[in-house]
Amino acid sequence: MSSETPTYLQHHFANKEQQYQSAKLGMWAFLVTEVLTFAGLFCAYAILRNNFPETFKACSALLNTDLGLINTVVLITSSLTMALAIYFIQNNNKTRTIQFLALTIIFAAVFMVIKYFEYTHKFHVGQLPAELYFSNEVQNLIGTEITNPGAYFSVYFMMTGLHGIHVIGGMVVIAWMMYNTYKGKYSSEYYTPIEVTGLFWHLVDLIWIFLFPLLYLIG
């Protein structure tokens, strides 16, 4: 390599533009696989809801809509802070970049804490997947017995649980972006890792925007 070759340019790329486009293409390909994964879960939701419409409607009423709405606002705000982090690194403001990456992690942590309280309540009252379900709250709420309430909570825990894993994974990666920014590895000349991380984070937020009305409002 010549002395003028940027330190961040990997040896298998001809120039930084090729590296940038390859990174974005790779991330978009990964995001397609993520969309397909959640699409399978959405299909499972649709099939089960068609088979047990009254069950899904009744069980949905047991979810805390206020907490779900708060989490929706929290994640949308985290998308804004992530976008601002990208904006500031593009303008070579590393301090602001670190601050907004930290805010994104904080909002993600708030989201997970709220999910923790939701989950622990459901574990306590027996609103669990499939045969593990033992709660009487649905019958008490609507005054009649319903069929297979565990099916609803199987879908609920699978969809929100997988989404939660993505949130935690995103927090780890964003923390790594913070560290590398602090170490001076990113600047207005090279910020591709932060930008592609932002793409992933926006998808995580978008998936929740679909999950919230499906599970909490429509049922």
Q: What's the pLDDT at 1? A: 41
Residue 21 resides in a domain: yes
Angle, alpha carbons 77-80-86 (nearest 5°): 145
Average pLDDT of every residue of the chain: 88
pLDDT greater than 60 at residue 142 = no
Residue 10 resides in a domain: no
pLDDT greater than 90 at residue 159 = yes
State the residue for tokens 């790329």.
13
For every residue of the chain, DSSP letters joined together read: --TTS-TTS-TT-SSHHHHHHHHHHHHHHHHHHHHHHHHHHHHHHHHHHHH-HHHHHHHHTTS-HHHHHHHHHHHHHHHHHHHHHHHHHHTT-HHHHHHHHHHHHHHHHHHHHHHHHHHHHHHHHT--SGGG----HHHHHHSS--S-HHHHHHHHHHHHHHHHHHHHHHHHHHHHHHHHHHTT---SS--HHHHHHHHHHHHHHHHHHHHHIIIIII-
Residue 130 resides in a domain: yes
The pLDDT-based confidence of 160 (bands split at 50, 70, 90) is very high
Number of domains in the chain: 1
Q: What's the pLDDT at 4? A: 66
Residue 7 resides in a domain: no
Chain segment 169-207, per-residue pLDDT in tens:
999 999 999 999 999 999 998 899 999 999 999 999 999
CATH number at residue 114: 1.20.120.80
Mean pLDDT of 137-150: 66
Residue 3 resides in a domain: no
Chain segment 100-134, per-residue pLDDT in tens:
999 999 999 999 999 999 999 998 888 888 777 77
Residue 6 resides in a domain: no
Which range marks the domain in which residue 143 is found?
Answer: 16-218
Residue 5 resides in a domain: no
Per the model's pLDDT, the better-predicted residue between 71 and 136 turns out to be: 71
Q: What's the pLDDT at 2? A: 44
Residue 105 resides in a domain: yes
Q: What's the pLDDT at 83? A: 97
Note the pTM of the prediction, 2 decimals: 0.87
